[in-house]
């Protein structure tokens, strides 16, 4: 649980919890002390100017600043960069208005540069400021940057003082200082960095937003009631559109709309400013405190399952989990405190309930443990086959699918354990193995040491039998090779289809039911090929083609050890490779078959760039390299000769 909390999954769970809190809380009224004037397409049409506000004549901005100053705006901020000269008269007019107002903050653009090594590795990053033109920088009351760290989940934080720029105060910090101080002093540089969590108000345009042309009308021809719109306020001017196709300066947040419209940068700047003015940025308990809280919560819920009957433990677990949600919402809405949501109310109860049910089930099934121990010797499987063989006159040749398995590193396992412990490990292993095989209609015919041979009869429906055998192989692979099951052992599997003699073998003193024939030997050889191809489940074309399923990858033709006839082998998978990898592998394999080794190498290298550990890709790349070095001859018709088991 601790590892999960500290992993990227834990971070995702935390951000999902924040989104849930915002969804439950909904929008909240923003403060009246902050107003946005939006540079938008509506104003472009009304003013009959370019669709791009950065190309407007700066006479408009001069008019706007003078009007805002005359109407009592406390501080004015421009979230647009004036680093390029436009028409001279407009630039001079803007500079004059900036000097006259004495309360305008201009944004400085921040550019991140990366220092890379000769091999392309990022060694360091530096932030570089692009200030406004000297004409405007000297005329403005202040200039400042504004940075919001981006994450895959959107923007959730902002810097009050920016560490990568020598702890310079940001635009919201500078404007908040002006709003709360009677003099014209600029905020000092504080030698510490402050990263705050944004306390969002709602979707785009929740903070009062007035189109640029409408603001000019109010300032120049407004009514008496409209005269107080900007008095004593912090006014931010910036790009903002509620049309997705016209968005430019937009950021994803929990309030991003379903139609794709995010919140504008100027509105996030206004939100940060409002948070600083009202001292209501979000607070979150320290990471270690969060972790301790969730772990204590988990222990408390687990104790319920240790002390109470199943029904009462389940009811109380989920009652407490649901009760946690209103506590989190109350803390979030009333005290701006972001408590963990997803883990205490969902993930922890699910995990504890699953473990608790497993514990209660284990205790309830203790009486059946001895019976299960007996069933590990497979008398039930043999009994089913004996019943089946009664209609076959004691034995005959049938068609079937043979699955052979082998535990990896079994020699090392048995060498490190006593015979008794080895037996216990194998008994637990085969108890699950047999259950999965029989659940898919198969029969465990033989177990020798760590190996098993299983059979699916296919006389009545080859297609159905092949599907069942492949499904069993995938389930066995998931159980044995996922690394999540205590009784599992890493195992390789091989499948082949064909005729087999099924019946009793031996003398009167010792008879056993066995399946014998070439497919048994061949499936064993196919299983062994996994070692070279670094795969887990391989099957011949005779199994794959009748099943008519897509959970496989063709690996080419192979002449297995001790066999004369080549076989087309397939890797059996839970899912297909990504389409680009599938296409590249298939093309590379065809090139290899036609002895076009350079083209084959290129294709396999493309697959390796996406899937560095893909076994078949590494096998063929190694084989191509060996052929270049003359370690073995060319494969006839692209058929790979396997020299050993």
pLDDT in tens, 577-618: 888 899 999 999 999 988 899 999 999 999 999 999 999 999
At a CB cut-off of 8 Å and minimum separation 6, what does 549 contact?
467, 470
CATH number of the 378-576 domain: 3.30.70.1230
What's the pLDDT score for residue 383? 53
What's the pLDDT score for residue 587? 94
| Mean pLDDT, rounded, for 333-344 | 88
Interval 107-166: pLDDT, tens = 998 887 777 778 877 767 777 888 999 999 999 999 999 888 777 777 888 888 888 888
Structure tokens given for 87 = 């028409």
What's the pLDDT score for residue 292? 86
Pairing of strands 234-239, 34-39: parallel
Structural element, H or E, at residue 236: strand 234-239
What's the CA gap between 385 and 442, in Å, rounded? 10
DSSP annotation of 347 reads: I
Interval 407-419: pLDDT, tens = 987 877 777 888 8
What's the CA gap between 403 and 328, in Å, rounded? 54
pLDDT band at residue 259 using 50, 70 and 90 as cut-offs: low
| Mean pLDDT, rounded, for 298-310 | 89
Interval 418-446: pLDDT, tens = 888 888 888 899 999 999 999 999 988 88
What's the CA gap between 58 and 37, in Å, rounded? 15
| Nearest alpha carbon to residue 20 among 294, 457, 326 | 326
What's the CA gap between 238 and 80, in Å, rounded? 6
| Nearest alpha carbon to residue 613 among 534, 526, 556, 551 | 534
What's the pLDDT score for residue 472? 95
Q: How many helices (H) and strands (E) does the chain have?
A: 23, 23
pTM: 0.53
Phi, psi of 4 (to 5 degrees): -65, -40
What's the pLDDT score for residue 638? 79
What's the CA gap between 642 and 123, in Å, rounded? 46
| Nearest alpha carbon to residue 470 among 535, 404, 405, 547 | 547
What's the CA gap between 119 and 614, in Å, rounded? 24
| Mean pLDDT, rounded, for 75-87 | 92
**Average pLDDT score, the chain:** 84
| Mean pLDDT, rounded, for 344-349 | 88
DSSP annotation of 431 reads: H
Structure tokens given for 131 = 């200030």
The residue ranges of every structural domain in the chain are 1-25+285-364, 31-278, 378-576, 579-645
What's the pLDDT score for residue 6? 47
Structural element, H or E, at residue 180: helix 171-180
166: left (phi > 0), else alpha (psi -120 to 50), else beta?
A: left
What's the CA gap between 195 and 419, in Å, rounded? 61
């Amino acid at each position: 649980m601790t590892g999960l909390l500290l992993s990227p999954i834990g971070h995702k769970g935390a951000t999902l919890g924040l989104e849930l809190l915002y969804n439950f809380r909904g929008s909240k009224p923003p403060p009246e002390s902050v107003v946005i004037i939006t540079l938008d397409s509506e104003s472009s049409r009304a003013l009959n100017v370019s669709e791009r506000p950065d190309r407007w004549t700066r006479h408009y901005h001069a008019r706007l600043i003078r009007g805002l100053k005359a109407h009592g705006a406390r501080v004015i901020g421009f979230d647009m960069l004036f680093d390029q000269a436009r028409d001279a008269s407009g630039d001079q007019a803007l500079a004059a208005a900036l000097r006259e107002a004495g309360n305008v903050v201009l944004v400085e653009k921040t550019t991140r540069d990366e220092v890379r090594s000769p091999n392309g590795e990022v060694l360091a990053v530096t932030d570089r400021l692009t200030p406004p033109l000297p004409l405007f920088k000297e005329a403005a009351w202040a200039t400042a940057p504004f940075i919001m760290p981006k994450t895959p989940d959107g923007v959730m934080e902002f810097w009050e003082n920016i560490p990568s720029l020598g702890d310079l105060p940001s635009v919201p910090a500078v404007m908040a200082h002006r709003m709360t101080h009677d003099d014209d002093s600029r905020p000092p540089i504080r030698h510490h960095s402050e990263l705050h969590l944004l306390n969002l108000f709602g979707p785009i345009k929740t903070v009062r937003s007035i189109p640029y042309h409408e603001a000019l009308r109010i300032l120049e021809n407004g009514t008496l009631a409209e005269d107080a719109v900007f008095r004593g306020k912090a006014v931010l001017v910036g790009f903002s559109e509620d049309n997705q196709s016209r968005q430019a300066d937009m950021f994803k947040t929990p309030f991003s709309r379903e139609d794709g419209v995010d919140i504008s940068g100027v509105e996030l700047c206004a939100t940060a400013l409002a948070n600083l003015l009202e001292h209501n940025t979000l607070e979150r308990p320290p990471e270690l405190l969060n972790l301790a809280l969730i772990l204590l919560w988990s222990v408390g819920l687990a104790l319920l399952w240790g002390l109470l009957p199943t029904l009462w433990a389940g009811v109380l677990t989920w009652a407490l989990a649901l009760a946690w949600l209103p506590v989190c919402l109350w803390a979030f809405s009333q005290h701006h405190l972001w408590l963990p949501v997803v883990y205490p109310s969902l993930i922890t109860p699910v995990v504890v309930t699953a473990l608790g049910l497993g514990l209660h089930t284990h205790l309830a099934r203790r009486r059946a443990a001895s019976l299960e121990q007996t069933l590990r010797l497979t008398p039930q499987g043999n009994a089913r086959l004996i019943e089946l063989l009664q209609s076959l006159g004691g034995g005959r040749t049938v068609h079937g699918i043979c699955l052979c398995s082998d535990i990896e590193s079994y020699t090392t396992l048995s060498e490190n354990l006593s015979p008794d412990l080895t037996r216990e490990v194998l008994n637990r292993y085969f108890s699950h193995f047999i259950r999965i095989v029989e659940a898919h209609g198969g029969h465990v015919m033989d177990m020798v040491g760590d190996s098993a041979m299983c059979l699916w009869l296919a006389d009545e429906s080859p297609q159905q039998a092949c599907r069942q055998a492949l499904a069993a192989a995938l389930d066995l692979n998931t159980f044995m090779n996922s690394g999540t099951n205590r009784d599992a052992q890493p195992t390789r599997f091989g499948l082949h289809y064909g005729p087999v003699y099924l019946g009793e073998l031996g003398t009167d003193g010792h008879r056993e039911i066995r399946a014998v024939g070439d497919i048994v030997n061949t499936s064993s050889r196919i299983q062994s090929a996994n070692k070279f191809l670094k795969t887990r489940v391989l099957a011949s074309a005779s199994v794959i083609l009748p099943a008519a399923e897509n959970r496989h990858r063709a690996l080419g033709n192979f002449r297995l050890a001790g066999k004369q006839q080549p076989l087309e082998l397939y890797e059996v998978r839970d899912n297909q490779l990504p389409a680009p990898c599938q296409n590249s592998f298939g093309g590379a394999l065809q090139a290899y078959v036609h002895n076009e080794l350079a083209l084959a190498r290129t294709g396999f290298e493309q697959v390796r760039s996406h899937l560095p550990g893909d076994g078949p890709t590494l096998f063929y790349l190694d084989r191509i390299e060996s052929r270049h070095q003359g370690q073995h001859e060319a494969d006839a018709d692209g058929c790979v000769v396997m020299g050993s088991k």
